[in-house]
Amino acid sequence: MTDSVGQNVLKELLGLLSLEKIEEDIFRGQSQDLGYGNVFGGQVLGQALSAASRTVPDHLCAHSLHGYFLRAGDAACPIVYMVERTRDGHSFTTRRVKAVQKGRTIFSMSASFHKFEEGFHHQDPMPDVKGPDGVESDYNMIVRYARNIPEDIVKKLLYPNPIELRVVNPVNPFHPVPMPPDKYVWFRATGPLPDDAATHRYMLAYASDFHLVPTALYPHAKTFWSPDMQVASLDHAIWFHRDFRMDDWLLHVIHSPNAAMGRGLNHGSIYTRDGKLVASVAQEGLIRRVEKDKV
């Protein structure tokens, strides 16, 4: 992907996440089709956080969000985000966001914002993982496996991605073998971004949804592409610990501690390349086995 193409798709994503204000505390966002059949969960996360951020003072930054995916979104239709000003405090401010499409709520989220203050510091160390240089990108992996994917879906998957993703320990998506429930993903925006912290936070919210749920399938030799699996995000939480830049490499360290009753839990720790823990993520996803005759 050339630099100019990368800049164009990144500009498109920034526009997608910036939203249109249509009334006080009500915003509208367009949708994109990434080839998953429905709206990508990261898009709704990023847009919802963007909407909430538009209603708080600039000196407050998001420090946590908790969201539930209630219905599948239609990638062909825009989404309306309605923000409730739950509390405006001196140190902390909270917002609730409802995402509505075709008159129905498809996603709900609570987000908390915090002013900067000094405090104690400690963190888990970043694991010793191969750096992004020389690791195959998701784009190149799709090219290698394109013959196994329907042509119409391949065209969408090969559309330039504004977020570059490189999995250190990938699984063959069409011939998986059992692996430990751990995944390491380097990611970054494909070009420079504005300096405001809110942009980097809602961009990270967008990118954090990639690769989470499939990690719970690693031990079971199944993938998102397995024809007998129904895979979807159910809920998502993020805690922002330190400032970061989405246009520098970040490492998402993902671990799935549990799978049961058709659901898989995934924990994520996101580090800068020099080892600072900047965010933590948790997500439970649907990993339901579908009967062969119903696939």
Q: In this structure, which amino acid lies at residue 80?
A: V
Active-site pick, 233, 256, 269, 280 = 233
DSSP 22-41: EETTEEEE-----SSSS--H
Select which of 209, 235, 269, 280 is catalytic: 209
**31 among known catalytic residues:** no
Does residue 121 sit in helix, strand or coil? coil
Range 157-191 burial, b when 16+ CB lie within 10 A, else e? beeebbbbbbbbebbebeebeebebebbbbbbbbb
Q: Where are the alpha helices (DSSP H) in 137-245?
A: 138-144, 151-157, 197-207, 212-215
What is the residue whose two structure tokens read 């000003």?
85
53 is catalytic: no
Q: In what order do the strands lie in the sheet with 60-69?
A: 20-23, 26-29, 79-88, 92-101, 104-115, 60-69, 229-240, 277-289, 263-272, 250-260, 182-189, 163-167
Give the Cα separation of 104 and 288 in Å (integer): 24
Please provide the DSSP assignment of 62-79 as one string.
EEEEEEEE-SPPPTTS-E
Which candidate, 156, 120, 118, places its Cα nearest to that of 37? 156
Separation of alpha carbons 294 and 292, rounded Å: 5
- Catalytic residue status for 32: no
Q: Dihedrals φ, ψ of 293, to 5°?
A: -75, -5
Active-site annotation, residues: 209, 233, 283
